[in-house]
């Protein structure tokens, strides 16, 4: 195994910035396996989107910033909130509460050191 393969094996998560259909900026936090674990709200500027990523890095380490919710169909999901109470990211819908808690643990693990990939 060469050095490049070893580095890819231990890759952490990444934030991916993209533009949506209405020309607004959004980011997804992806785990090392490529699965989206947190999606942002829409931002009008790339700078605001990058500030949102910084806020996720900072707030992801505080369990109290995770708002655990249940959708109308009973699926658990969570929102990550900033210090001001604003939602900065939402999860997918999960099949169980334990799967949702694993999702929160994955955000806590991946967000602080995740690289940023700009796909705009």
Domain tally for the chain? 1
Domain membership flag for residue 50: yes
| Residue 2 pLDDT > 70 | no
Reported as a single tens digit per residue, the pLDDT across 41-58 is: 999 999 999 999 999 999
pTM here is: 0.87
pLDDT attached to residue 12: 82
Domain membership flag for residue 70: yes
Domain membership flag for residue 1: no
The residue range of the domain holding 96 is: 12-118
The string of DSSP letters for 47-113 reads HHHHHHHHHHHHHTT-GGGEEEEE-TTS-EEEEEE-TTS-EEEE----SSHHHHHHHHHHHHHHTTT
pLDDT attached to residue 6: 42
Domain membership flag for residue 62: yes
The string of DSSP letters for 14-50 reads EEEEEE-TTS-EEEEEE-TTS-EEEE---BSSHHHHH
Domain membership flag for residue 22: yes
Alpha-carbon dihedral angle through residues 49, 31, 111, 37, given to the nearest 10 degrees: 60
Contact 26, 44 (CB under 8 A): no
pLDDT attached to residue 11: 63
Reported as a single tens digit per residue, the pLDDT across 104-120 is: 999 999 999 999 999 99
Domain membership flag for residue 42: yes
CA distance 14 to 54: 13
Reported as a single tens digit per residue, the pLDDT across 63-81 is: 999 999 999 999 999 999 9
For residue 93, give the CATH number of its domain: 2.30.29.80
Contact 110, 102 (CB under 8 A): no
pLDDT attached to residue 36: 96
Would you state the structure tokens that stand for residue 106, as one six-digit string? 């994955």
Reported as a single tens digit per residue, the pLDDT across 3-41 is: 444 444 456 899 999 999 999 999 999 998 999 999 999
């Amino acid at each position: 195994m060469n050095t490049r393969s070893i580095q890819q094996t231990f890759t952490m998560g990444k934030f991916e910035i993209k533009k949506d259909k209405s020309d607004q900026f959004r980011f997804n936090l992806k785990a090392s396996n490529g699965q989206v674990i947190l999606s942002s709200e829409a931002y009008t500027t790339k700078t605001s989107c990058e500030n949102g990523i910084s806020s996720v890095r900072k707030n992801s380490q505080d369990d109290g910033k995770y708002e655990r919710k249940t959708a109308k169909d009973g699926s658990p999901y969570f929102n990550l909130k900033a210090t001001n109470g604003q939602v900065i990211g939402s999860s997918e819908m999960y099949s169980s509460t334990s799967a949702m808690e694993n999702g929160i643990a994955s955000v806590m693990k991946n967000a602080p050191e995740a690289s940023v990939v700009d796909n705009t």
